[in-house]
């Protein structure tokens, strides 16, 4: 995987993780507390962590020449 592909994979993973974490925290807050608040801090941190770790892990397990 080249650098551009790695960065694109990283950006997509970050975006999907951020949206899912924001929706999950909103629904949890709505059900548990009765207020529809999103925990932006947790969503952002989770997106950064998983956005870096998951593509890096994919590259390391598949090898550098895998699509």
Alpha-helix runs per DSSP H in 1-67: 3-33, 40-62
Domain assignment present for 26: yes
Three-state secondary-structure class, residue 49: helix
Give, as one character, the DSSP assignment of residue 35. S
Domain assignment present for 46: yes
Residue 9: pLDDT above 60? yes
Domain assignment present for 65: no
Percent of the chain with pLDDT over 70: 91
Mean pLDDT over 32-45 rounds to 93
Angle made by CA atoms 20, 53, 15, in degrees to the nearest 5: 30
Instruction: Determine the pLDDT at residue 61.
Output: 86
State which residues form the domain around 44. Answer: 3-60
Q: In the chain, how many domains are there? A: 1
Residue 30: pLDDT above 90? yes
Domain assignment present for 16: yes
Three-state secondary-structure class, residue 65: coil
Domain assignment present for 66: no
Name the average pLDDT for the chain.
90
HSE (side-chain half, CA atoms, 13 Å) at 52: 5
Instruction: Determine the pLDDT at residue 67.
Output: 53
Domain assignment present for 42: yes
Mean pLDDT over 59-65 rounds to 73
Domain assignment present for 45: yes
């Amino acid at each position: 995987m080249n650098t551009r592909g790695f960065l694109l994979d990283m950006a997509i993973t970050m975006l999907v993780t951020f949206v899912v974490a924001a929706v999950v925290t909103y629904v949890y807050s709505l059900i548990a507390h009765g207020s529809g608040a999103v925990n932006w801090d947790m969503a952002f941190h989770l997106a950064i962590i998983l956005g870096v770790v998951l593509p890096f892990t994919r590259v390391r397990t598949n090898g550098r020449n895998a699509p």
